[in-house]
């Protein structure tokens, strides 16, 4: 065994977003670029996530596949790896789930999109004991009040991954029968502004430190999920975030930095 693996592992994140598509049947999404920029800011902040962050935005299918495989293949035993995917999720006629890229053709999903089983396989083969997969992908083509869905077909993404492998946790933007939404109230997105309902609360909980629900200074993956779940359900977006998997020990996603002097004591902003 590499002696370095006996030390504290690295914290690494790969953020993937696709909002532009060549196939006219795939609607352009406004939010993925802003989602990635905002999430990268909080994850890379040494006071918060302290992750080594890389991102792949609006790239071809093969380049994304190689990025995902390389990311997990380079994982070592004590690493914490976080993979985030935002964009269209597509359900094939056989029930298989695919992630769309700019080069995806709806009629040729097998050869032009990223099969979720590929992601599951690379996760399974990874040596890292702690992996978090966050999926903010489209589930349906219906429209909701004040929101528009991020994809054309319904699918339960969290059920494509083995929930029994310890150290693998999957967070999803909605349940298998619901939709994931963009916020239509944001007519124009700044580059660093998260436009997805799910990712907006994800970033908010980490950036503010409010996702540290027990006030112990750390944000665990379970606390982050609980925070996002509550805020999404309280919003006007008709979706229910999901969590599956089996965390290895106490999986800490971020530190709750100290710019919250009397957040809970007096209710005043710091």
Question: Model confidence over 74-119: pLDDT tens digits?
Answer: 999 999 999 999 988 887 777 677 889 999 999 999 999 998 889 9
The reply to whether 37 falls in a domain is yes
Burial class (CB in 10 A: 0-12, 13-18, 19+), 105: middle
Q: Please state the pTM of the whole predicted model.
A: 0.81
Domain count, the chain: 1
Listed in sequence order, the residues at least 6 apart from 111 whose beta carbon sits closer than 8 Å to its beta carbon are none
Least confident of 12-16, 131-135, 174-178, 251-255: 174-178
Residue 95, phi-psi category: left (phi > 0), alpha (psi -120 to 50), beta (remainder): left
Confirm if 185 and 145 have CB atoms less than 8 A apart: no
CATH number at residue 249: 3.40.50.1460
CB atoms within 10 A of CB 198: 31
The reply to whether 263 falls in a domain is no
Residue 98, pLDDT score: 86
pLDDT tens digit string along 7-18?
578 999 999 999
The reply to whether 123 falls in a domain is yes
The reply to whether 152 falls in a domain is yes
Q: Which domain holds residue 149?
A: 3-255
Distance of CA 213 to the CA centre of its chain: 20
The reply to whether 269 falls in a domain is no
pLDDT tens digit string along 237-266?
767 788 888 766 679 999 997 555 434 443
Q: How far apart are CA 49 and CA 45, in angstroms?
A: 6
The reply to whether 265 falls in a domain is no
The reply to whether 83 falls in a domain is yes
Kindly write down the DSSP assignment for every residue of 30-83, as one continuous string: SSHHHHHHHHHHHHH-TTTT--EEEEEES--HHHHHHHHHHHHHT--TT-EEEE
The reply to whether 267 falls in a domain is no
């Amino acid at each position: 065994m590499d002696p370095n693996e006996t030390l504290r592992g690295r914290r690494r994140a790969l953020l993937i977003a696709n909002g532009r598509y060549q196939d006219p049947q795939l609607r352009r999404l406004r939010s993925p670029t802003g989602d990635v920029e905002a999430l990268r800011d909080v994850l890379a902040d040494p006071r918060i996530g302290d992750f080594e962050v890389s991102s792949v935005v609006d790239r071809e299918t093969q380049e994304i596949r190689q990025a995902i495989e390389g990311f997990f293949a380079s994982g070592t035993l004590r690493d914490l790896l976080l993979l985030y995917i935002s964009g269209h999720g597509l359900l094939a006629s056989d029930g298989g789930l695919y992630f769309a890229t700019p080069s995806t053709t709806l009629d040729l999903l097998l050869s032009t999109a990223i099969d979720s089983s590929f992601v599951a396989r690379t996760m399974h083969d990874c040596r890292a004991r702690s992996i978090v997969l966050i999926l903010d992908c489209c589930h349906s083509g219906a429209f909701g009040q004040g929101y528009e869905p991020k994809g054309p077909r319904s699918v339960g993404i969290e059920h494509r991954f083995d929930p029994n492998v310890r150290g693998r946790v999957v967070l999803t933007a909605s349940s298998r029968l619901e939709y994931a939404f963009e916020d239509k109230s944001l007519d124009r997105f700044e580059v660093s502004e998260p436009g997805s309902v799910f990712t907006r609360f994800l970033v908010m909980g980490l950036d503010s430190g409010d996702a540290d629900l027990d006030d112990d200074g750390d944000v665990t993956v379970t606390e982050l999920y609980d925070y996002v779940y509550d805020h999404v359900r309280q919003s006007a977006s008709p979706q229910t975030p999901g969590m599956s998997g089996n965390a290895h020990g106490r999986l800490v996603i971020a530190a709750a930095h100290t710019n919250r002097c009397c957040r809970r004591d007096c209710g005043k902003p710091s």
